[in-house]
Amino acid sequence: MVRVDGVFDAERVAVVGATEREGSVGRAITRNLLEDFAGEIVPVNPNIDRVFDRPCRDSLAGTDADLAVVVVPPEAALEAVETAGEEGIESLVVVTAGFGETGSEGARREAKLEELAAEYDLGIVGPNSLGVISTPSGLNATFAPDNARPGTMSFMSQSGALVTAILEWAADRGIGFKDIVSLGNKAVLDEADFVETWGGDPDTDVVLGYLESIEDGRRFIEAARDVTEGTPVVVLKSGRTDAGAKAASSHTGAIAGSEAAYEAGLRKAGAIRVDSTEALFDTGAMLAGGSVPSADGVAVVTNAGGPGVIATDAIGDSNAELASLAEETRERLADALPATANVHNPVDVIGDAPAGRFHDALEVVLSDPAVGSAVVIACPSAVLSFDRLAETLAAFRRRESIPLAACLMGGAAVEGAAETLAETDTPTYFDPTRAVRGIDALYRYREVRDRKERSPTQFDVDTDTARSILGRVERRSDNRLGIEAMELLDAYGIPTVDGEIVDSPDAALAAAERLGGDVVMKIVSPDILHKTDIGGVEVGVDPADVEGTYESIVTRARNYQPDARIYGVQIQDRIDLEEGVETIVGTNRDPQFGPVVLFGLGGVFVEVFEDTTVRIAPVSEPEAAAMIDEIESAPLLRGARGRPPVREDAIVETIGRISQLVTDFPAIVELDINPLVATPDGVAAVDLRLTVDPEKL
């Protein structure tokens, strides 16, 4: 942790590769550092005596710096890092490229860099980084042509070019930052380190990140979960679509995790995910204000009906809701506004409203307990001064903590107003839909901040039995187990449909008689994957036909694949599907985030509707309950068309037990219970498939 703080809090910065050579990166960085930095700059370059009138040192040795910025070629950079380690300079920014992003020689260098960092306990940004900025001390250790204005957003970016672009763009808009870091190859310090650091930084109101990959999903979740209780974290994660993911991996060499796991991981971390550069900053600017709505409703106050309707549509699409104003509020508005004004939300103060009328309407509206935030929309008119309106809004912001978004629908005339509003951390937008997107972020963050965390339930399970069942896979070449491993679920307390595996027609009949009524019969063979396709499943077999059916199922299987190993036939109770709903509970392992648990509508609908949702294990009870809420077909479980509702608590428990199973046994690569039939009485697993890595048992 100390290692990251050192990057931004440095007081004496050495520049390894400082130079005046025109057009060089070293010159750009040295100049940027000399421009505004409140601390000391120590140029290091053994080939020259002075840089910009300052004496040059030959090496980092004896510089007594607390941060070294390295811009020399790769091998020299490695030497500099080693010297830094020896000298006790714990923080470095390695701007030099030619490491992991460039083939095997570069990968070797990056490994060496990691070794040095571990040996000397160094905090290294990069390599292949554009650099870092920290506005309180005026530190600009980048080679970007623009510097940042002071502000309360801290921004990390896995693309250096994006930092350059954002700096130039923000400069024109008066958008400020606390710290900025170009993450580069993330050989040592990664997104989790910066989230953690900024979470503890009182000067950072919101953390923004552009990420193409997450190095260690579990560590990121751990770090961000704590941070997001007090500081919002907004992430633009690219490589979202198949095409995007391919583009991302070809250009950074990062292995992109699967999209569903990223979605689940960012959710668990409490990060607010956005999908464009503008959304990142629209959202960031609103959250930088630091106020969170205390009520659900958004008020819209406008001098023009049309944009008010557009904003209302956007609120309808958002996580917020249009505030329903109290009768008393509407009466007070009617008193305060002209007769033709609309006193319902969106409140229309009419086109001839001066700033004072906005003030009067807001005074009333903001006192309504249903109103937690407001979007103020102003179109240009002869009687409205944007500057006066901005002063009015700024005064409200100074007096109350209620968040406001200003939608000033003008051109150059709004610039002064935007400046005034920026001083009270009130963002300004042109487009009503974007203003609402800003407000929406507040509600998204409020949900994260207020979420109820619960530790996952620890169930009493029989791990020894489970281990021995998983061990059976060692006798299989394909590492798979099927319905013959249903006792695995028994060992973890997951109800299975009653049944047994038999190896003769006699035994089949005995089993059917024990179960009573019609039964389901399925071939049990590790070599037959799609049992139904080869006639290996019979549903609703009358006990009288059980012996004959046994013979025909086995015959069909042998005809289909003469060398198949046949373990017998499973005889199962037949579940009445008129009363039940087929669901799926499954799990697999993501390279970045580890085990994930999936729940959704089962049977044929898994493929057709893909109505499923994913969480990172371990899954707590509230998380499992949210999974049920989230699937589109939840009404099917809750008594659609007069059917009795199923026992959701049994589904929640099953999700929790599967989460525990996959956490207990890293050997489980993937596992599907499909269907898990949910009924008004509980759940029962009907079929099972899993893949096990015997090396990890």
Site map 172..211 versus its own copies, x via CB under 8 A:
xx------------------------------------x-
585 has which bridge partners? 599, 673
CA distance linking residue 682 with residue 652, whole number of Å: 11
Rounded to a whole number of angstroms, the minimum distance from the CB of residue 310 to its own copies is 5
Rounded to a whole number of angstroms, the minimum distance from the CB of residue 3 to its own copies is 25
Neighbours of 456 (CB within 10 A): 17
Helix (H) or strand (E) holding 167: helix 160-173
Number of residues in contact with its own copies, rule: CB under 8 A? 91
Candidates 333, 409, 557, 614: give the one binding its own copies (CB under 8 A).
409
Task: State yes or no: residue 543 binds its own copies (CB under 8 A).
Answer: no
Task: State yes or no: residue 633 binds its own copies (CB under 8 A).
Answer: yes
Rounded to a whole number of angstroms, the minimum distance from the CB of residue 168 to its own copies is 4
Rounded to a whole number of angstroms, the minimum distance from the CB of residue 628 to its own copies is 14
Cβ-Cβ contacts under 8 Å for 370 (sequence gap 6 or more): 295, 296, 297, 323, 324, 325, 326
CA distance linking residue 92 with residue 445, whole number of Å: 33
- The answer to whether 221 and 264 have CB atoms below 8 angstroms apart is no
Q: Which is nearer to its own copies, 397 or 437 (CB)?
A: 437
Neighbours of 526 (CB within 10 A): 19
CA distance linking residue 378 with residue 416, whole number of Å: 15
Q: With CB under 8 A as the contact rule, which of the stretches 39-47, 305-313, 446-454, 483-491 interacts with its own copies?
A: 305-313
Q: Which is nearer to its own copies, 65 or 97 (CB)?
A: 97
- The answer to whether 338 and 330 have CB atoms below 8 angstroms apart is no
Query: CA distances (Å), 446 to each of 44, 130, 230, 298, 691, in order?
Result: 48, 34, 10, 14, 40
Helix (H) or strand (E) holding 166: helix 160-173
Rounded to a whole number of angstroms, the minimum distance from the CB of residue 33 to its own copies is 17
- The answer to whether 598 and 576 have CB atoms below 8 angstroms apart is no
Candidates 60, 195, 315, 619: give the one binding its own copies (CB under 8 A).
315
Q: Are strands 54-55 and 50-51 parallel, antiparallel or unpaired?
A: antiparallel
Q: With CB under 8 A as the contact rule, which of the stretches 69-77, 165-173, 197-205, 677-685 interacts with its own copies?
A: 165-173
What end-to-end distance do the CA atoms of the chain give, in Å? 35
Residues numbered 100-119 forming contacts with its own copies, rule: CB under 8 A: 102
Candidates 4, 28, 113, 652: give the one binding its own copies (CB under 8 A).
28
CA 165 from chain center: how many Å? 24
Residues numbered 37-76 forming contacts with its own copies, rule: CB under 8 A: none
Cβ-Cβ contacts under 8 Å for 251 (sequence gap 6 or more): none
Candidates 164, 420, 583, 588: give the one binding its own copies (CB under 8 A).
164
Rounded to a whole number of angstroms, the minimum distance from the CB of residue 503 to its own copies is 29
**One-letter identity of residue 154:** S
Rounded to a whole number of angstroms, the minimum distance from the CB of residue 246 to its own copies is 8
Candidates 222, 278, 487, 664: give the one binding its own copies (CB under 8 A).
278
Candidates 6, 217, 289, 432: give the one binding its own copies (CB under 8 A).
432
Query: CA distances (Å), 241 to each of 63, 247, 265, 647, 678, in order?
Result: 48, 10, 16, 36, 33
Task: State yes or no: residue 398 binds its own copies (CB under 8 A).
Answer: no
Query: CA distances (Å), 568 to each of 482, 525, 550, in order?
Result: 13, 7, 9
Q: Which two tokens stand for residue 314?
A: 């956007």
Rounded to a whole number of angstroms, the minimum distance from the CB of residue 640 to its own copies is 6
Rounded to a whole number of angstroms, the minimum distance from the CB of residue 303 to its own copies is 7
Secondary structure tally for the chain: helices H, strands E:
24, 31
Site map 319..358 versus its own copies, x via CB under 8 A:
--xx-----------------x-x-x-x-x--x-------
Task: State yes or no: residue 276 binds its own copies (CB under 8 A).
Answer: yes
Candidates 36, 331, 335, 632: give the one binding its own copies (CB under 8 A).
632
CA distance linking residue 198 with residue 507, whole number of Å: 67
Task: State yes or no: residue 430 binds its own copies (CB under 8 A).
Answer: yes
Residue with tokens 């580069």: 184
Residues numbered 600-629 forming contacts with its own copies, rule: CB under 8 A: 604, 607-609
Candidates 306, 548, 591, 680: give the one binding its own copies (CB under 8 A).
306
Candidates 636, 667, 668, 676: give the one binding its own copies (CB under 8 A).
636
Candidates 1, 161, 334, 529: give the one binding its own copies (CB under 8 A).
161
Q: With CB under 8 A as the contact rule, which of the stretches 52-60, 167-175, 520-528, 545-553 interacts with its own copies?
A: 167-175
Candidates 458, 477, 641, 695: give the one binding its own copies (CB under 8 A).
641
Q: Crossing angle for the helix pair 305-316 and 432-449, nearest 10 degrees?
A: 30
The reply to whether omega before 127 is within 30° of 0 (cis) is: yes
Q: Which is nearer to its own copies, 1 or 640 (CB)?
A: 640
User: What values do phi and psi take at 93, rounded to 5?
Assistant: -120, 115
Residues numbered 558-587 forming contacts with its own copies, rule: CB under 8 A: none
Site map 228..267 versus its own copies, x via CB under 8 A:
--------x-xxxxxxx-xxx-xxx---------------
Q: With CB under 8 A as the contact rule, which of the stretches 3-11, 39-47, 379-387, 461-469 interacts with its own copies?
A: 379-387
The length of the chain in residues reads 697
The reply to whether omega before 595 is within 30° of 0 (cis) is: no
- The answer to whether 567 and 501 have CB atoms below 8 angstroms apart is yes
DSSP string of 432-453? HHHHHHHHHHHHHHHHHHTPPP
Q: Which is nearer to its own copies, 17 or 160 (CB)?
A: 160
Q: With CB under 8 A as the contact rule, which of the stretches 117-125, 152-160, 395-403, 651-659 interacts with its own copies?
A: 152-160
Q: Which is nearer to its own copies, 285 or 473 (CB)?
A: 285
> Cα Rg for the chain, rounded, in angstroms?
31
Candidates 309, 326, 510, 575: give the one binding its own copies (CB under 8 A).
309
Q: Which is nearer to its own copies, 410 or 666 (CB)?
A: 410
CA distance linking residue 266 with residue 275, whole number of Å: 13
**DSSP classification of residue 342:** B
Candidates 58, 64, 119, 313: give the one binding its own copies (CB under 8 A).
313
Q: With CB under 8 A as the contact rule, which of the stretches 218-226, 325-333, 378-386, 493-501 interacts with its own copies?
A: 378-386
